[in-house]
Amino acid sequence: NLIGLGGYVATGQPYYGANEAVSMTELGVVCKVRFKASEKFVVKFPLYIGYRSYGGGAGRGLAVNFSGVLQYQGEKLRPFLDVGFITQPTGGNDYSEVTFAPVMQASIGLAFTF
């Protein structure tokens, strides 16, 4: 079992209002708890807390994200499945509040070891 602390940067283009997509950038800290599930798999539970900013003056806010990750422990390649949620409990722009309850997200990825 292991606890890790670090930083993160995330980008994306979420749906925003009437058929419009905006850019999103997120910068923050992450705390991960890691458990060995078997000889070849680990399970991680990261909690992300950061600052989220949307392009075009669409707003900014507090990012609070949580997920569960299942990762294969290969020699050089380590594919993973990440399922969780993102939320923004506070934030907005000059004209309105921009907050939202937890939204489910899922992603797959590939980590490389050196």
Compute CA distances 41 → 10, 30, 69, 80, whole Å. Answer: 25, 21, 10, 9
Which pair of structure tokens corresponds to residue 99? 């907050």
Residue of 48, 64, 59 lying closest to 22 (CA atoms): 59
Task: Name the amino acid, one letter, at 111.
Answer: A
* Residue 51, token pair as written in the block: 């600052």
Q: What are the pLDDT digits (tens) for 67-91?
A: 999 999 999 999 999 999 999 999 9
Q: Please answer whether residues 52 and 24 qualify as being in contact, where contact means their C-beta atoms are separated by less than 8 angstroms.
A: yes
CA distances from 4 to 30, 32, 80, 105 (A): 8, 5, 17, 22
Token pair of 55, please?
């392009």
Instruction: Note the pTM of the prediction, 2 decimals.
Output: 0.83
Q: What is the pLDDT of residues 22-81, one digit of tens each?
A: 888 999 999 999 999 999 999 999 999 999 998 878 889 999 999 999 999 999 999 999
